[in-house]
Amino acid sequence: MDRRIFLQAGIGAAAATTMALRGSTAAESEVRKIGEGLRTKIAVSPNWFSGTNVERIEQIAAYGFPAFELLRCGAWEDKEAVRIRCEQLGIEVGAVGGGMGTINDWGPNDPVHHDRFVAAVKEGIANAKAIGSKLVLALSGAARQGVSNEAQMDALVQAGKRVGPLLEEAGIVLVWEPLNVLVNHAGYFLVHSADASELIKRTDHPHVKFLFDIYHQQISEGNLINNIRRYHTEIGHYHFADNPGRHEPGTGEINYQNVFKAIYETGYRGIVACEFGKTKPTEEVLEILAECDRW
């Protein structure tokens, strides 16, 4: 812990050392618990805060938010320290990504890559367990030219069936992520909620679901609330950002109070994770996120 944090806050050197040893931060005594009591389990980005990974988690907890997500956190060298501190503070960890298929290149929509996919999922499970996550994120790969959609869907189903027992043994859920091809990811294979829902139904394993990214699905298909209601049994995780721009709620066209209310009313109590570049100071963005839960 950096004792300068406490000294800059006007705390004496001896008190600073004591607080550091106890794992406290200046933030815990200086900031308002903006996220306390929210119904939506909003995961914020540790990149909005400064310090070590552990210190950033402490700041998230200080603001009263219950979770964090950064897909590449599985590569952190201090995963165990982060997991322990999260357990102490009651902070949940969102999805872990990293190599379980790609956006523009190889993917498990080609059976040639299934062994590679299985190896990547095993590594993802290990990283998720090390940091305390219950979710790993998978990508379909780019659409294969000259190969039918049905053949590519079949390949994804078989890939999910292969890793299902590994996920179940570890207590981890894999979520396939549809992405938009109109603005951000031209050429990607898995795009629409209906296809993702079909993929999950055909895989028929409780540890294989899909990720409903509200930003991507608004671009790809709209009709957000109806689709959340229609496919909620196949959805295992949520990401969100406003559209256009992929920034915090209030910068675009999505009514996040209504969307969060709809998610809650389906019975979902898992993490809804921020995935956007913020345009305002962190505390102001945290206030905006809290307002999204006030319906």
Residue tagged active-site, from 55, 58, 177, 248: 177
Catalytic residue status for 177: yes
Cβ neighbours around 237 below 10 Å, total: 25
* Tokens of residue 227, six digits: 């689709």
User: Which of 291, 236, 290, 244 is closest to 263 using CA atoms?
Assistant: 236
H-helix or E-strand spanning residue 44: strand 41-44
For residues 109 and 124, what is the distance between their CA atoms, to the nearest angstrom? Answer: 18
- How many Å separate Cα 222 from the centre of its chain? 21
Catalytic residue status for 30: no
Q: Which residues contact 225 (CB under 8 A, 6 or more apart)?
A: 258, 259, 262
CA atoms within 13 A on the CB side of 221: 19
- How many Å separate Cα 133 from the centre of its chain? 10
Residue tagged active-site, from 55, 58, 234, 275: 275
User: Which of 217, 216, 139 is closest to 174 using CA atoms?
Assistant: 139
Pairing of strands 173-176, 41-44: unpaired
Active site (catalytic) residues:
177, 275
